[in-house]
Structure 1
């Protein structure tokens, strides 16, 4: 193989002889210039063959991030794995600002997905210092620089482990656990600036995005790549116009020190402290590596660069570490199987005024296998709608899939999968009498352990509404289930019976069982009597009422479902939303939760009983910002019995399994898992 390279500089990397243009630098290299080098001549003399090969970097190394560090005496470092697979850190090394690599002894040799590893620095870490982590082959994994006292008591990523902004904490450090407990309640404006997109295809351009509410001056900020022989370069010298970034705005600059494969960009403020970083493996920044979603998500390789504007997120999979201040979407992968065709979201509307940010963890994990819910009646992509944890067994999650399917899900390797002992492919539901194809949307678990499912029409006659609540006994055998009881409320909604399949499809989307004990303890006024609700007035209804959400107008309809097949209507409640997609009662917050998808800006309204005895909206939250804007129709919060370190699981379902679109790591997945406070 002949390879001539005339009048160029190349670099000798460690003991392995490699040719690398000087504009695409690497750490630990010595520059050598030659007028002409013929590779075939070196091979013929055995010069290359005599050199030992450098150790291969472990898969996913770029997803390992420095997450917390202290220079207050014990000099402790915490690493976090933002990826979806475990990463071996065997033989890894660290350095301080001397860039002299030294081995360290981590608390574990492998970092699991979403896990932590800590170690005490073998070198003293002081004021105005830095920390660099290397693979065993010498590749820079991550780096953080800090100014005087910035790492006392600790310097940590806040706003998402492994992904958030570097902030000096004011409380005790949280080594080996999530940083949220030690982070300040509000983050400085500068920390809202994120590296949003990077290209390493020759133009070597970096895009910054300001996700805050005020402009941030960046003229005195600097950047550097992962070559420790390079000194940080000011942004203003690379782009004189990039002096300030308005709220919601962008600034771009071309790197004058070159960006290549297996490289990084570290963004430093005027004090020399790290603001943000991005790292990518070979091929990861060509044509670009960009955050998805724009300004907040993890980095993926994109097929189209969108410098100076919102990211297209048209790429295919993770392109490197780093992440957004507001969280990171983890997991996914796999290819679409035959017959699984996701459908893009529709009906996107505005977020209600006064909506608050998601109060739980900001990172979200894809929680199912790709195309896991394809069935004989719904292969085209209309997927999981309603979700409900079983209060008697929180390791079980019930899921209703459109076109008459029910799934009992259990956890396996961090994902929700069908319980094979119940049915590996779900059970098909029918109306009473064993006929029809219920358009199953909402699901809830009653006090009797039975599963209650709503349907808004019969899909075998989809222009006619059929708003029903069906009760199923999950202990029944067989691959199909018919209702123990069925209650038909269709006549209450004549506005849906227009002969249009679209109107018929705007009926019962969600249902939630609410115990009588909560209604009585909170002084709910029975609208039928005008007095405090007395369950004894309704002897056939069981021990709670059912709240059904109507997609048509966002109202909740309250019913007592009687054992003789009749029902009592207790009236209508306003949620303050234009639609409702799921309903659940959360004993942890003592609230009824009405969920709306992108129609209402991906929001959840928590409802309480007020001083007058009426059920009214209390507070509304958005989804974690990293999640896609999709038809996320299902939502469930795990019981407080599952709480760990102040958080419990929350799960969302995508009715179209679209994610961030074709080619993204979330495409073809229906379930997302996050956390909610206890």
Structure 2
């Protein structure tokens, strides 16, 4: 690691380096002029001995006059300020690098005449070296006695020169000649540097830069846009406003101005001197920038669209920046530098170059190296160490174009890092975060997300002092609840135009005195909230009748009482729990450092967000806390700067600490739950400049999401209460915010402003239908609609219960609505739900049930009807026995409901082909042969004609048929039988012979 040798500076009195004419000692040119001027300075003791190294007292008059460090070649210019020649043979020079040894300036006689110069390149000397951006040079006599020394922290542009009392950057390089010193700072060095025309979270603004070497007073300067109507009402820079050398000044054009103006998409800004006519600088544009318009490089370059808005900071022209530096790792470990990409896309940094304050050992970033969007790249194999006084310089691949740089004069106790990460100035970080976002001290705040101006909102002397807690009534935008500490008074305020006044109804005109549940005492009510039950919950830090004793309690009051004194229905004393959670401090939390605010957080928000109960280390389960009122009560403790969430049992007045929440603030004054933003607001008073920290539920715990400054137009008041109107109060994208000033500054305790409304974060709800559904879309069963809900931002209150549709009918509809805590709602509707749970009607047509059919069989039909979903199919099925045929009709409707009907008719077990059936018998001719066919069977036996009870001869069925011959000798008119035997059964048919 490198260390920087201490540097001693020599200052020349007056402006001897500016010598343009012969008219007087301050306007001489050439070596004689310089010598004359220096002689004059020496004769008046302008060269103070204390400015020289101790060893240089009485030394020859050789002094450093000018130094060039970048780009190569470097040079050092010496001047002989004495009135006698000085021989530099054997004289030496050394820089700040302890690894270097002094290099000899001249090895032969080298005489510098009085007033003359000697210029040399340190790198060309024997044992020479280059000069870095944070470095020094010391001139020594041959015996090592130091004669003069100069040091710097960044490269000169173009050189450093002794000018008057300072070692400053020159106007131009003048090796071997009189120094070209910058003129005194003037308004011409001020330029427009950055413009925001599309509004940041506050308003439109422009930024000025002072490129000069000294401060410039810009008080009374006037700013105009392109609108001629604004000529008579320009924005005016406030009195006593000065931009230091190299400094920046940003001013809003539409707030804290009368009347002010916004900047348009196609517009311009013109900066004028107080005379209103002399133009300092102007810039115009066409179309809003996605970020801002700014000079690149910052201060001197042309205007371009910047990478990010950097109000009050140097312009971000490259998305890659030096972000964190470790120059003295305590581990120990290697020195490292971290780069950050602040853009939304990866950046290829292959071949880019890193240097320290010198140029001897540059580090080149490897090929195929990129930094992801919003990512970090830490480099710890730099090849060079970083000293206590050193620098990190980042160059483009050409090794010439400087991208970013940071220099320091001593090691950091941790690291140096930008705060905010990637954007802010370098500070000493809280801890090293190599390759990750910087750990910045304090809160990284943003401007208040609403109006930057506030107005008084109460009448003078309404509250003598000590108004602390505030809460809007959730059921009325025109009702505000307040709590006053010390005196311990609760207030119901109503809106009267732009003012809030005490309600004159129900005994509230002078407020009401709260008491503890026993009807005694004087609770020091610091905070107030409206619970889900409509009761008031007050946070009290002590009993003012015993004010030296801490009694941190949450008290519950009935706001509908007409009594002048309100007695608490419940008290939950949380003193012991909070002291235990705070680590049992000794002494305990003080009586005036306890509860400052209280807020109700509903269970729906907590369970939807997966809140973890620190008492059980499991997901928060509301059922585990009986009688707790549907949510947790979160209190703010001033002393610890933390929030504590309690489940309050209204039955036995017990309480359970469910969570301890860090806020990032050292002290607290109030807490609010913002359902619209799904955030807890942790509020600080003037001890922390009125900052607020917003906490979101993530991973089961509350973590910091955003932090805001108080409105720019509001003084740093002792604001102990904050109330944000419900979403119903949004008008044109903003809604009311109220602050309570415990100090009643200027006779007012209430101040009103606005905050930007957050879009509702509309939740989503979908419905899924379950039931027995046919391909046609019709259901033939009850249909259940089940709803699925998802939050979008604010958690949902509840998801609709399932709906069951049981009745048959076409085009039915079911709907479900979900509401978010922040006010967003969503409804889903499913229509055209067709349900048919009724079977169709069906009959068998074309058949007379029970009739005997001989010969031509009937032609049955399927007769089906359905009045709701309609018929899909109607089919017939036939089953037969030798004596019966059954017809079954099956009807199916479009919902899939099925109905059946049957019809049976009689048949003969067998038929005789070609014979007539008359009077219950077949008529057969004598001597003829007939084919006999069995009904419903294909195998079995057919008998010959027989009389009596039992056949005597049989013939087998072939294919269900056989033949029978009628003997010719049979007497006509006689009755015979033919028998069929099949499947173990016998069937008989009568026949009668004919001629």
TM-score (norm 1): 0.49
Q: Which has the larger radius of gyration?
A: 2
TM-score (norm 2): 0.34
